[in-house]
C-alpha cells in the first residue's frame, strides 16, 4: 500500500501527462470510446477481443507512427501527393491530430463511425491529384497507393509493438493482427489485401522496385528529424524518432541517409525508447472518468 501523499502526487503527474499527450496528438477532440468501461456498444470493425485493439492502444504506436512516415516517403507518387497537397510543414500537429483521429475512430468507433471516417478521407483524396517530379500522374485514391500507405502503416505498428509494446505477440497473434486489418484495407479501397505477416512482408518486398528517394522525400525526412515541436516535447520526440529509424530496414536507412551507429541503437536508443513508451502507455491509460486530482 502506497503513502496517500505520494499516490496523489503520482496520480496528478499521470493526469498531467495524459492531458498533454492528448492535446498534442488529438487536440480538443473527445475520446472515441472509454476503454476502461465494460464494453456494451456495437463492436465496430474489430472489437475488444481483437489483437488490433490491444496493439493500437499501446504507447509503442508513437514509434510505429513515426516509422511509417519515414517508410512512406520512399514511394515517389505517394510523396508527391503529400508534398503538393499537405500543409504538414506549416502545422504538423494539426496533421497529426487528423491522422490520430482517423486511426482512433476506425479502430475503436462503431462500424458506422469507421465507415464515415473512411468516406471523409476518400472525399479529401479526390482533390489530391497531380504530376510527380518524374512526370507521372498520381492520385491519392489510386488503390495501389492506398495499399502502400496501409501496408507500410500496419508493418510499422506491428514491428514497433513487437519491440516496444507491453507484451510481444505470438506468431499466431501477429498473423491475426494483419488479417484483422484486411477488413480496413478492403473498406479503404486497397487493390490487394494481405492476411498474414508472411503475405505482408512479401507484398512489401514486391513493391521495392517502385521505391525511389527524390528531393521531396529528402525534404520530408529533414522535417521529420526536426519538426517545430514545443521545446519540452523535443527530447522525447528524439528518442521516439531514434527508435523508429532503428526499426527501418537497413536499405531504407541507407537510401534516406539515416545511418545508425552500431552500438547506439541497442544499448542507448532501445532502453530509452522502451522506458518512454511504457511511460506513455501508463499515462494514456488514465481512466477518463477519474476526478481532477490537482483541483481536489
Say what the pLDDT of residue 94 is: 73
Site of grid cell 530509452: 272
Say what the pLDDT of residue 209 is: 97
Count of structural domains, the chain: 1
> What CA–CA distance (Å, rounded) separates 41 from 294?
32
> What CA–CA distance (Å, rounded) separates 206 from 243?
25
For residues 270-292, give the mean pLDDT. Answer: 80
> What CA–CA distance (Å, rounded) separates 139 from 84?
11
Question: Please, are residues 281 and 167 in contact by the beta-carbon 8 Å criterion?
Answer: no
Say what the pLDDT of residue 96 is: 75
Say what the pLDDT of residue 264 is: 86
> What CA–CA distance (Å, rounded) separates 160 from 66?
10
- Supply the range of the domain harboring residue 84: 4-295
Write out pLDDT tens, residues 95-144. Answer: 777 888 899 899 998 899 999 999 999 999 999 999 999 999 999 999 99
The torsion defined by the Cα of 240, 213, 134 and 128, in degrees rounded to 10, comes to: -10
Amino acid at each position: 500500500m502506497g503513502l496517500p501523499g505520494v499516490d496523489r502526487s503520482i496520480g496528478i503527474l499521470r493526469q498531467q501527462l495524459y492531458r498533454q499527450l492528448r492535446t498534442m496528438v488529438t487536440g480538443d477532440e473527445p475520446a472515441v470510446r472509454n476503454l476502461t468501461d465494460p464494453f456494451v456498444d456495437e463492436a465496430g470493425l474489430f472489437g475488444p477481443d481483437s489483437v488490433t485493439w490491444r496493439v493500437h492502444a499501446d504507447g509503442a504506436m508513437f514509434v510505429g507512427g513515426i516509422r511509417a512516415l519515414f517508410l512512406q516517403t520512399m514511394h515517389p507518387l505517394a510523396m508527391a501527393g503529400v508534398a503538393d497537397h499537405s500543409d504538414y510543414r506549416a502545422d504538423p500537429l494539426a496533421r497529426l491530430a487528423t491522422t490520430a483521429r482517423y486511426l482512433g475512430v476506425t479502430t475503436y468507433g462503431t462500424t458506422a463511425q469507421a465507415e464515415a471516417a473512411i468516406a471523409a478521407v476518400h472525399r479529401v483524396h479526390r482533390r489530391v491529384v497531380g504530376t510527380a517530379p518524374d512526370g507521372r500522374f498520381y492520385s491519392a485514391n489510386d488503390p495501389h497507393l492506398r495499399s502502400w500507405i496501409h501496408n507500410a502503416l500496419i508493418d510499422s505498428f506491428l514491428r514497433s509493438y513487437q519491440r516496444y509494446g507491453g507484451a510481444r505477440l505470438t506468431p499466431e497473434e501477429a498473423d491475426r493482427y494483419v488479417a484483422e486489418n484486411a477488413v480496413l484495407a478492403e473498406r479503404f479501397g486497397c487493390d490487394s489485401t494481405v492476411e498474414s505477416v508472411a503475405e505482408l512482408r512479401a507484398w512489401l518486398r514486391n513493391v521495392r522496385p517502385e521505391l525511389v528517394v527524390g528531393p521531396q522525400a529528402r525534404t520530408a525526412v529533414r522535417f521529420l528529424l526536426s519538426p517545430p515541436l514545443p521545446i519540452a516535447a523535443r527530447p522525447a520526440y528524439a528518442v521516439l524518432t531514434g527508435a523508429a529509424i532503428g526499426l527501418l530496414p537497413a536499405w531504407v536507412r541507407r537510401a534516406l541517409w539515416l545511418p545508425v551507429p552500431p552500438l547506439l541503437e541497442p544499448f542507448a536508443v532501445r532502453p530509452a525508447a522502451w522506458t518512454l513508451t511504457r511511460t506513455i502507455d501508463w499515462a494514456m491509460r488514465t481512466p477518463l472518468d477519474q476526478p481532477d486530482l490537482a483541483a481536489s
